[in-house]
Amino acid sequence: AQKITQTQPGMFVQEKEAVTLDCTYDTSDQSYGLFWYKQPSSGEMIFLIYQGSYDEQNATEGRYSLNFQKARKSANLVISASQLGDSAMYFCAMREVGTGGFKTIFGAGTRLFVKA
Amino acid sequence: DAGITQSPRHKVTETGTPVTLRCHQTENHRYMYWYRQDPGHGLRLIHYSYGVKDTDKGEVSDGYSVSRSKTEDFLLTLESATSSQTSVYFCATTGGGPGNEQFFGPGTRLTVL
C-alpha cells in the first residue's frame, strides 16, 4: 500500500542556514508525483514544489529544492537561507493512480522552527 | 487561488447527529478530495471524487459518506457523528494529471460533543 513517511516531528534551524526535511515514500506505481506543502499557523495549505517520478533533474523553486532519490524512494525538501517566516508545518505528499483516478496522500508532517 | 469555499467554517454538534460539510469550487476541476487533519497524523484522505457521481474511498472512510451531483460541489456527510470525528476537515481540488498540485479550501473545524 502507498505510504508517506516523515520521521522528523519537529526541527529547529538557525535563521539564514539551510535545512533538510526528510520524506520517504512507498509505491508500486511507476508513474507518480511528489509534492511539498507548507502550513503556517494561520492554517492554509500552500503548495511549494513538485517532482515527477520520471523527472531526471531535481526540482527547484526559489529557495526550495527537492532532493529526489528514486532508488531510495526519498524526496527530501531542502530550504536554503531559512527565514523566520519559514516556521510552519511541512507536509510531503504523493499522487498516484487510485481505483478511480489520481489520489494524493500525505505524510504526518514536520514542524519547522526557525530561530533568530 | 482555485476559488474553493467550505461551509460551515466552524460547527459544534452532539454525538449521534448527522452532519454535512460542503465544498464548493469555481474552477471546474475534475478531482475533489476530503481530508481530515489531526495532530500527529497529518492529512488523511477520507474520500475523493474523480467526476460527477464518481467517488472512491480513502484511508479513513469509515463513518463518512460523500456525494457529488455537480462538478462544483462535493459534500461530506457524517451519518452519526462521534467524538472521534472531532477534527479539522479540508477540501481540496486539482485539475488532474500527476503533476497538478492541489488547491485547498480554508478548512472546517468540527467539534463533536
CA distance linking residue B105 with residue A16, whole number of Å: 31
* Residue percentage of chain A with pLDDT more than 90: 82
Total residue length of chain B: 113
- A 46-75 → B contacts, CB under 8 A: 47, 50, 52-53
In chain A, residues with a C-beta closer than 8 Å to the C-beta of B55 are: 100
User: With an 8 Å Cβ cutoff, is B9 touching chain A?
Assistant: no
Identify the pLDDT of residue B42: 87
In chain B, residues with a C-beta closer than 8 Å to the C-beta of A103 are: 33, 45, 48, 56, 58
CA distance linking residue B7 with residue A13, whole number of Å: 37
Identify the pLDDT of residue B96: 66
Identify the pLDDT of residue B46: 96
Out of B41, B56, B103, the one facing A98 most closely (by C-beta) is B56
- The rounded mean pLDDT for chain A is 93
All three cell numbers of A78, joined, read 531542502
Identify the pLDDT of residue A80: 96
In chain A, residues with a C-beta closer than 8 Å to the C-beta of B33 are: 103-104
Which pLDDT tens digits describe chain B residue by residue (113 residues)?
559 999 999 999 999 999 999 999 998 999 999 999 998 888 999 999 989 999 999 989 999 999 999 999 999 999 999 999 999 999 999 876 667 888 999 999 999 99
Chain A interface test: which of B34, B57, B88, B102 (most A C-beta within 10 Å): B102
Checking if the pLDDT of A96 tops 90, the result is no
Residue of chain A whose Cα is closest to the Cα of B109: A43
Residue of chain B whose Cα is closest to the Cα of A55: B99
CA distance linking residue A35 with residue A50, whole number of Å: 5
pLDDT per residue over A4-28, tens digit each?
999 999 999 999 999 999 999 999 8
User: With an 8 Å Cβ cutoff, is A36 touching chain B?
Assistant: no
Identify the pLDDT of residue B1: 55
E strand map for B1-113: 4-7, 10-13, 19-25, 31-38, 42-51, 54-57, 64-70, 73-78, 87-94, 103-104, 108-112
Out of A6, A52, A104, the one facing B33 most closely (by C-beta) is A104
User: With an 8 Å Cβ cutoff, is A105 touching chain B?
Assistant: yes
Identify the pLDDT of residue A100: 62
